[in-house]
Structure 1
């Protein structure tokens, strides 16, 4: 997938405030910026920077009136956030009635933190697909336009049954907004069926209805919905509810990563490896397919730390992890076991292909050039021990396979390092 545009255009005539806003975007949101103090400079920036995905603009520019500013940026199709020096109710209503994401007051406490969060949220939204389910074409289009202005990839369905089919066909859908009053499958029914298939860490569901039925909120929530919106709702309420729910999805994902991933390399950790590998071995064994368990260790890692410091050691670990991720196939299980040791479970490998697969990995790592922040580089090698598991017979327990791959790793180390040693086959 091609990289998404990442730059934020800040249009602000105050040099000092523009600098503060740029710092918030770059340091708190992690997004690069381009600055403009006039509409003419903004036009030049838009032409020269096709990677702009968001516009943060003031309403006081020396060469454009307020409405002209909004109109011009609306033409770009980019999300627009207006940043104003004073609160004006009539102006706010007029702006939010246009294609503007938000209207933010400079004097509001914590507004820079809010703008940094908002930019991050709009950036992340572009990686999320949202499904709108409503039998009313006008209501469906209205919600779709709101979601599109917030950066979501939007899909539409005119019935609950079509909504289920859309979710089955597009695994990128993580947000569903469904009306309740629909023929056939109602919104509550759709919520229940979606929740049967997708857990709360995978999908957020927001129910919508214009009916004056207080009990409907509880019905939606009890049947799996995360939230509820009563029609008519304001643009701001809609954005707040949607953002809160996708933020929760991000938070759950972050907590899961903390529990299952190694903090330094991003690979699975030891505990998660056992969970994934046991299921994978069961599936391979049931299908009568061979597999291999490998233990990989960075050679002379202590010397790397002593020579290049612990930062150099961390860079070495990250480089090896990236090389392993690039080399392994999608169905392979890769983890960092701790220290300089990594493990792999790779399926569908006979004796010859196992050796070729892990020899190629060893060569890929040996060809790495690890670069330090000061520009110096160093290389490294690894030793790999491989335990092959048979396609038939009694299933070999994971701890037995790891002990055997560890024994082969010891042989590789004793044989001179930077080599692969492999069992012929291991039985239970």
Structure 2
């Protein structure tokens, strides 16, 4: 899709979209703070004299042995709670493309291209580092490709509240697309064995879920009582098939109808489930995933796996996002929106290198939970995320004062109707 020469990249979205994105950002930012706290507790505990208790808690098994559901607590967090996270991400992505500003292909092309660029280049860098180094492993090529929504937005909130809404929306949308692409990678490349019968059976509750959720005659109280068992059964069957169970969350989300009138079920489901995802699912997973022992002699602190992941997250993500944005500009002959600079795009690219939740999940799938490779990958993810966050903070905070002055002018509501005048002027501009 060729964009008009008058088109501006990262321009201001509609007022309704800005309000919706703002609500999502506040929830994800709170979740990011909880994620950081949970990861810190896990890291300190796993390197304390009581590390054995942390290991025992993570490996404790609960659940019925049928359907292979006698899982460890860590596995329940990765397979079960993250399904909620991907359900919310799927709802967000569907609403963006069906009812949000991204239903316009001219707006959608940039975050999609940036997400793809931010996944391809880190993978290439990781393969380059591990393909030539002694002791390297290509199994973790996808580890540095993911962006953590909550973690990145928490960092963005600390940097300052005066960055343009377009940059925040860009980061959120890029991260959501990134997560959905990551789940495709998990389903395609990290499914060791596939049992077709449970996967075919999963289509039955999934289809019934889609049918019921689209039937508006069903009362709300009855709706939840019917949908939840169907969703759980879909998850169980996908888990039994060998495909990672989080895929079920995305498939269920895509069946929920979305509309532009503000009363669609996707909006209500997202509003209901996002707090559970941000405040419970992601922090609990982080607690069980971040507990890597930093001591020992197994080389977890060094080696090509660590180097490839750090280089992929820090350099690959930033250059991939900036490069894809530049390519979109060149192909469409569009320009950055007034007031934005390429160093702002670089700052967002660096923030997208804050990979945590999905990166840790892929590391576990790639190397095996608790293995030396898994421990090295977790060290790489933690290190790369912290370096990316520090570099993004240094770059974007330098711009914060400039944008604060600009935003004070843009937020003026001289007629007192509750809508910033700049959006009313935007509607009147042909």
TM-score normalised by the shorter chain: which range applies? under 0.3
Question: Hey, which of these two has a bigger chunk of strand by percent?
Answer: 1
Question: Hey, which of these two has a bigger chunk of helix by percent?
Answer: 2
TM-score by length of 2: 0.21
Compare relative contact order (CA 8 Å, sep 6+) and give the higher one, 1 or 2.
2
Structure label with greater radius of gyration:
1
